[in-house]
Structure 1
Amino acid sequence: MARDDPVRSQTASNETDSLPNLVTIVGRGVPSKFEIAVDGEIEMVADDPVAQATIVSEKVVEGAIDTGVQRFRFSGEMANVRVVDWNGVPAPESSSTPNVHVDYGVPER
């Protein structure tokens, strides 16, 4: 699994300051796929995105989720979000697709 750019560390405060926004994907217990695109930069809030089978490039994230939560910090504006269930049925037609929450201007904890 290759990435266009390596995922940056979440520990450096100057890096997270440049990524003030947060998108959260919440699984509903059904295997689903998601794709998030932003007009700035995006990175996963995790120690090892590869272990979670998430591909992160400079502006796009692709991954899968069934249960749990995956979070991503980003700069700029949300450009596109696509979520589909295990049958490929997109939201809002499928009630099984994950919930997506987008928050702008969220300080790092």
Structure 2
Amino acid sequence: MARDAPGQNGTETERKLPNLVTIVGRGVPSNYEITVDGEIEMMNADHREEATIISGGTVEGSIEVGVQRYRFSGQMANVRLVDWNGIEAPDSPSTPAVNIEYGAAKR
């Protein structure tokens, strides 16, 4: 396993994908689609089980409870959230909460 050079902040992935988006389930099955104008990668999970990466910049997945995190480069282009009834945010209070943090690797 390679180590970062002394004095550098963050891992190679954090430098390549410096931004963070967090999806928080609210106890109701929901679907989401995230599109960025760069690349996006799921953190700490097997994307084949938890989400489907459609292309380098788009992720589609589902969540009921818990947290799913993605690192990405570029800017957020679109976030679409839909609850189990097909009602989109912000009309449904059951859709997941989304937090977007730019420059998350700089901590």
Q: TM-score, length-normalised on structure 2?
A: 0.85
| Cα distance in 2 between the residues matched to 1:99 and 1:47 | 19
User: Any idea what SS the aligned residue of 1:107 has?
Assistant: helix
Q: Over aligned residue pairs, what C-alpha RMSD do you find?
A: 1.8
User: Any idea what SS the aligned residue of 2:49 has?
Assistant: helix
| Cα distance in 2 between the residues matched to 1:28 and 1:22 | 19
Moved over 4 A (4+): none
Q: TM-score, length-normalised on structure 1?
A: 0.84
Q: Which has the larger radius of gyration?
A: 2
Kindly, what percent of the aligned residue pairs are identical?
Answer: 58
Listed as ranges, the gaps of 5+ residues in structure 1 are 1-10
Listed as ranges, the gaps of 5+ residues in structure 2 are 5-10
Cα distance change on mapping 1:34 and 1:28 into 2, 3 Å: same
Query: How many residue pairs align between the two structures?
Result: 98
Which amino acid in structure 2 is aligned with residue 66 of structure 1? E
Report what 1:14 is aligned to.
12
2:65 corresponds to 1:67 = yes
